[in-house]
Structure 1
């Protein structure tokens, strides 16, 4: 897998993936676009959500929506790395089993989500969930 990031002026950078998709990034704290660190949170949430939805669908759970709220805490010293990231999954559906959601979230975090597995070495990643009846 390959990608390219090109400086486009001031503190703005255009990232282009091998598949040809582009994303603007703003190194100035995300004032004009997603910052690189915000992108890490979005990537973690996206990767985990893909797993959770896929696992729940394979378990024949009647889900209508999956939202993950992500809270990242950074250290106070430079470099301002993430120390902790918490993912809160909100699963909406009809008669969704708590056991199946717990299993899906756990499998994503511990086995399938590549982003989470890469970050686990240096970041404390936690997760929980709630189920909303549709």
Structure 2
């Protein structure tokens, strides 16, 4: 897997993945940023959220759960000291579907966070990661 980051101006950078997708990164105003892109540390949370959501959806589908939607809300707290790594991360899953079994969602989250999600397992090296979920039933 490859990635490339190019400096644009001030504290703005353009990230390009090995698959050719791009993202604009920009720092906070107090560091000379202009608010034109995501901050790199935000991207870490998004990557972790995307990784675990992918796993959970795949596991629920294989368990024959009728999933219609899944939203993952992530709240990260960082150290006050440099390096300002994430120290606590809470992940809240909102799973929408028909007759979704709570035990299946719990199992899918556990499997993702303890076995499959590389991003979560990496972030767990510096942060305490907690999870919860809610099921939204549709008729």
CA distance in structure 1 between the aligned counterparts of 2:6 and 2:41, rounded to whole angstroms = 17
* Structure 2 unmatched runs, 5+: none
Aligned with 2:57 (options 53, 58, 78): 53
Give the drift of 1:41.
Answer: 0.5
Q: Could you say what secondary structure the match of 1:72 adopts? A: strand
Q: Could you say what secondary structure the match of 2:61 adopts? A: helix
| Corresponding residue for residue 128 of structure 1 | 132
| Corresponding residue for residue 27 of structure 1 | 27
Give the length in aligned residue pairs: 134
Q: Could you say what secondary structure the match of 2:92 adopts? A: strand
| Corresponding residue for residue 83 of structure 2 | 79
Tell me if 1:11 matches 2:8: no
Query: Does the 8 A contact of 2:85 with 2:126 survive in 1?
Result: no
Q: Could you say what secondary structure the match of 1:79 adopts? A: coil
Aligned with 2:40 (options 17, 32, 36): 36
Give the drift of 1:20.
Answer: 0.7
Give the drift of 1:70.
Answer: 0.3
CA distance in structure 2 between the aligned counterparts of 1:98 and 1:52, rounded to whole angstroms = 13
Backbone CA RMSD of aligned residues? 1.1
Using the size of structure 2 for normalisation, the TM-score is: 0.93
Using the size of structure 1 for normalisation, the TM-score is: 0.96
CA distance in structure 1 between the aligned counterparts of 2:28 and 2:11, rounded to whole angstroms = 6
Off by >6 Å, runs of 4+ in structure 1: none
Q: Deviations over 1:109-129 (max 9, x none)?
A: 000001011111111111111
